[in-house]
Structure 1
Amino acid sequence: MRGDDDVSNEEPEEAITRVILPNKKKGEMFGVVEKLSGASHLSVMCEDGFTRTARIPGKMKKRMWIKEGDLVIVKPWQFQNEKADVVYRYTQTQANYLSRNNMLPEVINIFKQA
């Protein structure tokens, strides 16, 4: 036996949460889902203060559900600034982590701990 199962000599690993951040060079930004409109469309309050109509792309629609109050990354359309695509949805744990580490803009930080 090689002893691969014996991990007692290793130090316990710290839980480091690494989260995806919006790529500002590509025009991505944080947003909070305000309202579900049906047909994979939703209203998102973006970090720049605008409320945009966002759509959930097909590859995301099948893998994760988005509900009101979720933190998302959106990418506004270049030819229609009032519309956007959802790029990523954060879990509640990831959103709390971003809020605790002051990585969210004040405009959309609804995850503050009292």
Structure 2
Amino acid sequence: MSEESGRKNLRMPDDNEVFAVVTQHNGGNHVQLRCMDGKERMGRIPGRMKYRVWINEGDVVLVEPWDWQDEKGTIEWRYSDQDADQLRREGHIE
């Protein structure tokens, strides 16, 4: 992190990933997502994240949509509040 700008190099989406905002927690390891490509998806929290990273409503996440079922996807990354603010300032998310 450079001291003068306060900007961090954040993990950006790969070709098959998209930014999303968690709109609802459906219990278990499923959440409702509003993706930046304009679609609503059911997101699955994988086991490697389930107990290490708490995902709440309003969190900004990185989702990999399933290629066989586009209305669902796997959450790959969760951004902290500061990182999400930086993404909003830079215009990556609404």
User: TM-score, normalised to structure 1's length?
Assistant: 0.76
2:64 to 75, 78, 85: 75
The number of aligned residues is 91
Using the TM superposition, give the Cα deviation of residue 69 of structure 1 relative to its aligned residue in structure 2, in angstroms: 0.4
- How far apart are the structure 1 equivalents of 2:19 and 2:10? 13
Q: Compared with structure 1, are the counterparts of its residues 80 and 101 closer, same or farther at alpha carbon in structure 2 (3 Å cutoff)?
A: same
Unaligned runs of 5+ in 2: none
Q: Which amino acid aligns with 1:87?
A: E
For each residue in 1:12-33, what CA deviation from the matched residue of structure 2 results, as whole angstroms up to 9, or x when unmatched? x614411101112xx1000000
| Higher-Rg member (1/2) | 1
1:88 to 74, 77, 82: 77
- Which protein is richer in strand relative to its size? 2
Percent identical pairs in the alignment equals: 40
* Alignment partner, residue 43 of structure 1: 32
For each residue in 1:86-106, what CA deviation from the matched residue of structure 2 results, as whole angstroms up to 9, or x when unmatched? 0000000000011112222xx
Aligned-residue CA RMSD (Å): 1.1
1:28 to 3, 7, 17: 17
For each residue in 1:53-110, what CA deviation from the matched residue of structure 2 results, as whole angstroms up to 9, or x when unmatched? 0100000112110000000000010111111000000000000011112222xxxx1x
Unaligned runs of 5+ in 1: 1-12, 110-114
Contact 2:63-2:74 at 8 Å conserved across structures = yes
* Alignment partner, residue 51 of structure 2: 62
* Alignment partner, residue 53 of structure 1: 42
